Structure 1
Amino acid sequence: MTSFSRLLPWFVTACLVGFLVTLPIGTQSQLVLGIVLIGALLLVWRFWPGPHQRLVMMAIGTLLVLRYLYWRATSTLPSTSDMADFIPGMILFAAELFCIGMLFISLFVVASPLERKPARRLADDELPTVDVFIPTYNEDVHLLSATLAAARALDYPADRLRVYLLDDGGTDQKCAQENVSLAAAARRRRAELMSLCSDLGATYLTRARNEHAKAGNLNNGLAHSTGELVVVFDADHAPVREFLRETVGHFRDDARLFLVQTPHFFLNPDPVEKNLSTWLRMPSENEMFYSVIQRGLDRWNAAFFCGSAAVLRRAALVEAGGFSGVSITEDCETALELHARGWNSRYVDRPMIAGLQPETFASFIGQRSRWCRGMMQILLLKNPLLKRGLSLPQRLCYLSSALFWAFPFPRLTFLVAPLLFIFFDLKIFIANSQEFVAFAVTYLIANMILQNYLYGRVRWPWVSELYEYIQSFYLAPAMLSVLLNPRKPSFNVTEKGVTTNRDFLSSLATPYFVSFAVLVVAMGYAGWRYATQTLDNDLLVVVCIWNALNLALAAVSLGVVSERSERRRNQRLAVNRCGRLDLHGGSLPVQIQDASTTGARVKLLTPGVDLPGGEGLPVGWLHVATLDGKTETGGIPVIVRRTISEPDSMAIGLQYLKPTPQHYTVIAELMYGQGKPLSDFWNLRRAGKGLLRGTLMFLRMSLGQMVRGLQFGWLALSQPKPDASDQPVVPPRAPETGGTVAPFKTAEG
């Protein structure tokens, strides 16, 4: 087939699209066309399942978007004769162009998400040698104990697996620093972690100086290890037992494969989910990325390293000079370098690690600020559009991933734009209400339908807008700082594993209350204008609706920055395992319902058990049965903290009693012996919301969170601040020794 024959269908299609986009029709005809195309979207979604449905949906939505864009560029921009209108008008238009451009790039990325087949299972003698890297800086030893124990328990031949704890908190530099107390703490940490590694069969590594942050720490691990493959787990990312069996087989299929990335699964809610009480019913914020976007990137050989829960080929890393450390997002930067060298990546869409998210809003913003600054660094210092060695799809994929973090620019622009008309009568969008409905509203509805079609199972309506809104106030200056000095940002470790022992208003709350107040005043002033003027009232109504949507986002944000207490230091995972509880005087079969690194909840399988009450707390052992139920993996010393009466039995809350490293091996097997509990919880929350139902739910949420946030704000103003301010704290632990050891009685006596 000649080049002309191949290009002819594309040329004809482009001409047809150009004709439809620029077709001059009246406002009413455009409204009818918009309604027809929206109806076509819904009909195709509902009644035309099949391999071509996705592309047809995208084509219809794209036509409406392009019709809007053509009208917007040719009919609505302010005149250059009035710069007060023209300058903000062009800023608004630039923000819209950015969003539409990102929409088209994202449609390309997720046009056909890849359903990756499972890796083929290799015989033990075929398996490559593996080094597991667990980088740490200041994490708690109990957290590290669980992660190390889980890594050591991976289903893999012992002679082909080695686990390294890469400690950047105990470097020579830190142990010899001028501050005597900090130096002593670093030396104690080094000694404690060396002992822990010795007990668990891991290798402790540190280095002379803290240089190049996490990338430097990982490169030090590379220099002191030899495995064919390298696995990276963050300090709070404990792997399930089958992690390696589900990933390493891919490397035997492709000699140029440098990466197998798996999703990050979290045991705890982020501050938005915690403070809005949506953790158990709404898909987590990261699932849109891991379950749709990463699979889309995988289609174009552009799935990238996410810093943890990944397997990498040592030969590829050595060829590239190790983990890249120019930016503070060393993970994506490393993947970019290796893709540019012709290496390949794969994504396995199965949760096989359990980690922790930031617990407070301040730490959440700190983490996202680092991501934003790092991706902006990559965009400026290693622009994927100019990077040699990348394919065109890879360039677009990396551009999408980096440019996404510029969302504060359009989000804040859309927040301010209606205020300019309400307060200052600036005409930055020249259109009447009929034109706005015919072009803009139909475009927005089509866009929301398309987004709900593509991401509905993992992202409810308006949730993306909420996350962008709450981050924009602090990410905008972070982004600006990188634009001014791309090499300035430094790596900051995200604090995790902390708790808050009271409700409080976040120290970052001020911009959200100010924004809410301004939007409320704007609604009141717009109402006064509507009642006292006769001109532009129809446009004023449209702008008020726009402002009301911003107000709904602002209302929910008040709830986001109103921190709920979280006394549970360690998050629970539903495990549903069999076991045996030995208390003084007898032994009881139990069902272990959930477990954490500090305790478990068990259900007694023997009816009529009478546990003693009073001050004495029974002390005993919890034995965990293997998955086949035939043997036991070992025991953990426990203390009974509470009993819970159930209709047909009794449940008991247990706390582990001074667990040793060997006990953490049992705890790790209990929690991470199989990946099914993670997948079950992953899928449990994937109940999509339709546009109408999701919008109504969000509006109800905005009312409730507005009231709650204003209550927090009033209390913060009317009451003196406590000495601890709103810093996260660790509540006092329950005593590690119990009271008297008391026997228990069964119904038979």
Structure 2
Amino acid sequence: MHMMCTKWPALLAGFLGVTLLWLPLSLQAQLVLSLAALGVMFFGMTRPKNTVFRMITFVFCGVLAMRYAFWRTTETLPSISEPQNFIPGLLLYIAEMYCLVMLAVSFFMLADPIKRVAPKVRSLDALPSIDVFIPTYNEDPELLAATLAAAKSMIYPRDKMSIWLLDDGGTEAKRSQKDPILALAATRRHEQLKALCKAMGVNYHARKKNDHAKAGNLNDGLRISKADLVVVFDADHAPVREFLKETVSFFMEDAKLFLVQTPHYFLNPDPLEKNLRTFGSMPSENEMFYSVLQSGLDKWNASFFCGSAAVLRRKALESVGGFSGQTITEDCETALSLHAKGWHSHYVDKPLIAGLQPETFVAFIGQRARWCQGMLQILILNRPFLAKGLTVGQRICYAGINLFWLFPLSRLAFMVSPLLYIFFSLEIYQANIQEFGVYALTYLIASFAMQSYLYGKVRWPWVSELYEYVQSLMLIGSIVSVIRNPRKPTFNVTAKGQTLNSDGLSPIAIPYFIMFYVLLAAAAYSFWRLATEPVASDLLLIVAMWNLLNLILAGAGLGVVAERKELRRNQRLPIRRHGLLRQGDRTWNIILLDASSGGVSVQFPEHEPDIDPDTDWSGVIEVRRGGRAVSFPVTIRSVRDFDGTNVFGFAYPERMPETFMAIAEIMYSDQGVLQDRISRRQIRIDIIRGTLRFLRWSMVESFRATGYLLGFTRLDKTESHADAPIVVKENNAQIPGKVQQMMTVNGERSHA
């Protein structure tokens, strides 16, 4: 009864909103309506967690959007008798209507997000068996060792969990290919990883052929294993100890549940965060999807598999023939096929893995091109809006997620359209300043307000537009390719763990400079026209301001493609944990500040030893968990001053399986460390501060990038220290990472 009462105001608002959509209104009446709708919207935003107020906010934002669409359709399109104006005008109109459709879909998705808490396990004996799959293709052994160690450290009965490294870089086909150099590299990798897995007590498997990329690799893993549930981690995704504790119990409550997906948390910045220096202070790009959208999709039983950090039911996978491999986004495609069969999915909004994202702009674009093409493949080949077995809500959610990847078309339409009027006087948007203010400006205010309302804690003002812009210039070709031949795209592994030893421009930076300087020329010419034309039109003023916004966006985009050096191969995680440092019969209390798979940073809260970083000073660090000591050897690498206190950097002199288990213990024993890092940067900032910050980025970064282009900036190269080798055998056989040399493992000749 209470729910019925609380829904009536939202229904009344919806009825009122619909009646207002098509009323013929004067300009003055429309202004009053727009201001009233904005007022009701802002009132509804005062209680963001109340569903009724949320619906009222959505309805009146929808009123403004639809009134704008009605005016835009009936009053602003050029005459069809003027094709030079009508055709580009129609294309711009379609781009705007696409944005309105996506706005409506986002309202639907986020109507009532769900926050889930794991049910308690009643009996350990009733827990299902688990197979942990870690698919790999070309990742380094040290990266895999860290993930394997973290997976082994997960809290779960040992007799109910098996861990599998599924190696697609060492398949029989790879080891027997015609090119002897590539065959030798594949054989070397195969023997390295087989030895590593044996030393770490996990299973190694390499299939015969590399059919169907990652999906085929996972399906071969299903063939050789038999557990009730399957956990998938990417090669760079290290889970925290509580991962299974927070996910598996859902499957015991719902026999039709096929998926529990968790967020992807990243230790390192993406190129935008690195090059604009926002990492750690600004919410990361993926947090908008994982902290908001997936919870909204969960309401409609439409949260989907994201390729990693997920638990799946084997029985469900077998019912659809395993992981789907028709497209290059096998994760979303698999979820779609299972949802269509009536299976359920859950999303747990709690960071339970720590992974890596692309460090360079080229790798970033390569990853996004694969996502873009894969999602459009699903849209074209699987047609989720027509798929049998899906509910109406699921159809809308899947279609919206797939359609989103057409954003490069609309974004570039918005970037190019003002140029047509400034340079060629093509009137593709027919409106005067009063009409633009009453209809378009109020709609834009509502749109920005809703963006802040829905995503303010996870996305700062103008940052979405910047991410879209820097991707759009490069993804146009990907979209055209997949539309021409939906079955053509092939799966490419995203490069991770890359380093840059100097500042410099990305190899694909030139198109961004061309766009920036074209927009700059357009800005200068438009203001010259405004100053010199006897009767400058209202439309010219509108277009000039529009182009100026595009120029500011393009200026910030130059900062993204002006790469800053990145020497760190091993990303650090702040931990702040007590430990002991021992050397002989001497012992010091220490605070471990952060850790990585390469070393740790330490402070001495009491007595500080006299350690010279230029010597080979070494010792043993010990931490405790549950009364059990975990220790590992370290050697001094550096000493630096931080707020008047010395911080000592220690490296691991060698890394055995026990070392990686200790690394997993100090880095991934506490899920709260990841949650705290996310919470500290999810801070809402208002539109004024966000705009001022963005203006600063645009001005400063465009000058920095231009300096790189013209050679005004000195680009010094810096070399980083090599990491310790991985020791995988009692006889000290080693995997030295990227350095190629011969080694012997288990008495057999191996190539490292």
Task: Output the TM-score relative to the length of structure 1.
Answer: 0.93
Supply the distance in 1 between the matched residues of 2:256 and 2:414 (Cα, whole angstroms): 45
Q: 1:654 aligns with which of 650, 653, 673?
A: 650
Contact persistence 2:10–2:55 (CA under 8 A): no
Shift of 1:177: 1.0
Give a deviation string over 1:639-659, Cα, whole Å, max 9, x none.
111123456754211111111
Shift of 1:118: 2.3
Where does residue 622 of structure 2 map in the other structure?
623
Where does residue 498 of structure 1 map in the other structure?
498
Where does residue 510 of structure 2 map in the other structure?
510
**Is residue 2:722 matched to residue 1:733?**
yes
**Is residue 2:355 matched to residue 1:358?**
no
Q: SS where residue 61 of structure 1 aligns? A: helix
Contact persistence 2:218–2:323 (CA under 8 A): yes
Supply the distance in 2 between the matched residues of 1:51 and 1:645 (Cα, whole angstroms): 51
Contact persistence 1:658–1:736 (CA under 8 A): yes
Q: 1:705 aligns with which of 687, 701, 706?
A: 701
5+ residue gaps, structure 1, are 1-7, 738-749
Supply the distance in 2 between the matched residues of 1:30 and 1:649 (Cα, whole angstroms): 63
Supply the distance in 2 between the matched residues of 1:26 and 1:217 (Cα, whole angstroms): 63
Supply the distance in 2 between the matched residues of 1:649 and 1:434 (Cα, whole angstroms): 61
AA aligned to 1:448 is F
Where does residue 311 of structure 2 map in the other structure?
311
Supply the distance in 1 between the matched residues of 2:9 and 2:602 (Cα, whole angstroms): 65
Q: 1:47 to 1:346 in 2, by over 3 A?
A: closer
Where does residue 287 of structure 1 map in the other structure?
287
The 5 A counterparts of 1:339-488 are 339-488=339-488
Where does residue 578 of structure 1 map in the other structure?
578
Supply the distance in 1 between the matched residues of 2:517 and 2:705 (Cα, whole angstroms): 12
Q: 1:237 to 1:396 in 2, by over 3 A?
A: same
Where does residue 746 of structure 1 map in the other structure?
none
Supply the distance in 1 between the matched residues of 2:579 and 2:17 (Cα, whole angstroms): 65
AA aligned to 1:610 is D
Supply the distance in 2 between the matched residues of 1:734 and 1:314 (Cα, whole angstroms): 39
Contact persistence 1:637–1:659 (CA under 8 A): no
Contact persistence 1:499–1:731 (CA under 8 A): no
**Is residue 2:175 matched to residue 1:175?**
yes
Q: 1:228 to 1:442 in 2, by over 3 A?
A: same
**Is residue 2:677 matched to residue 1:681?**
yes
Q: 1:656 to 1:14 in 2, by over 3 A?
A: closer
Give a deviation string over 1:52-84, Cα, whole Å, max 9, x none.
221111111111111111111111111111111
Where does residue 336 of structure 2 map in the other structure?
336
- Percent identity reads 50
Where does residue 205 of structure 2 map in the other structure?
205
Q: 1:654 to 1:12 in 2, by over 3 A?
A: closer
**Is residue 2:677 matched to residue 1:663?**
no
Q: SS where residue 452 of structure 2 aligns? A: helix
Greater shift in the superposed pair: 84-93 or 28-37: 28-37
Shift of 1:585: 5.5
Contact persistence 1:130–1:160 (CA under 8 A): yes
Q: SS where residue 39 of structure 1 aligns? A: helix
Shift of 1:115: 1.5
The 5 A counterparts of 1:9-408 are 16-46=16-46, 50-408=50-408
Contact persistence 1:294–1:303 (CA under 8 A): yes
Where does residue 632 of structure 1 map in the other structure?
629
Shift of 1:322: 0.4
Q: SS where residue 45 of structure 2 aligns? A: helix
Greater shift in the superposed pair: 365-374 or 189-198: 189-198
Shift of 1:37: 2.4
Contact persistence 1:601–1:653 (CA under 8 A): yes
Contact persistence 1:275–1:564 (CA under 8 A): yes
Supply the distance in 2 between the matched residues of 1:645 and 1:13 (Cα, whole angstroms): 60
Contact persistence 2:618–2:635 (CA under 8 A): yes
Q: SS where residue 407 of structure 1 aligns? A: helix
Supply the distance in 1 between the matched residues of 2:641 and 2:709 (Cα, whole angstroms): 39
Contact persistence 2:85–2:427 (CA under 8 A): yes
Shift of 1:117: 2.5
Contact persistence 1:581–1:623 (CA under 8 A): yes
Contact persistence 1:167–1:205 (CA under 8 A): yes
AA aligned to 1:623 is E
Where does residue 695 of structure 1 map in the other structure?
691
Supply the distance in 2 between the matched residues of 1:213 and 1:518 (Cα, whole angstroms): 41
AA aligned to 2:722 is R
Q: 1:259 to 1:698 in 2, by over 3 A?
A: same
Q: 1:645 to 1:509 in 2, by over 3 A?
A: closer
Supply the distance in 2 between the matched residues of 1:55 and 1:609 (Cα, whole angstroms): 62
AA aligned to 1:499 is T
Q: SS where residue 145 of structure 2 aligns? A: helix
AA aligned to 1:632 is A
Supply the distance in 2 between the matched residues of 1:672 and 1:429 (Cα, whole angstroms): 55
Supply the distance in 2 between the matched residues of 1:640 and 1:9 (Cα, whole angstroms): 66
Supply the distance in 1 between the matched residues of 2:725 and 2:128 (Cα, whole angstroms): 43
AA aligned to 2:333 is E
Q: What is the aligned residue count?
A: 719
Q: SS where residue 711 of structure 2 aligns? A: helix
Q: 1:651 to 1:10 in 2, by over 3 A?
A: closer
Shift of 1:121: 2.5
Give a deviation string over 1:311-341, Cα, whole Å, max 9, x none.
0000000010000000000000000000000
Greater shift in the superposed pair: 526-535 or 498-507: 526-535
Contact persistence 2:588–2:607 (CA under 8 A): no
Shift of 1:51: 3.6
Shift of 1:538: 2.1
Supply the distance in 1 between the matched residues of 2:644 and 2:73 (Cα, whole angstroms): 69
AA aligned to 1:242 is E
Task: Output the TM-score relative to the length of structure 2.
Answer: 0.93
AA aligned to 1:712 is Y
Shift of 1:35: 2.6
Contact persistence 2:14–2:59 (CA under 8 A): no
AA aligned to 1:571 is Q
Contact persistence 2:328–2:373 (CA under 8 A): yes
Shift of 1:536: 4.2
Shift of 1:625: 1.8
Where does residue 643 of structure 1 map in the other structure?
639
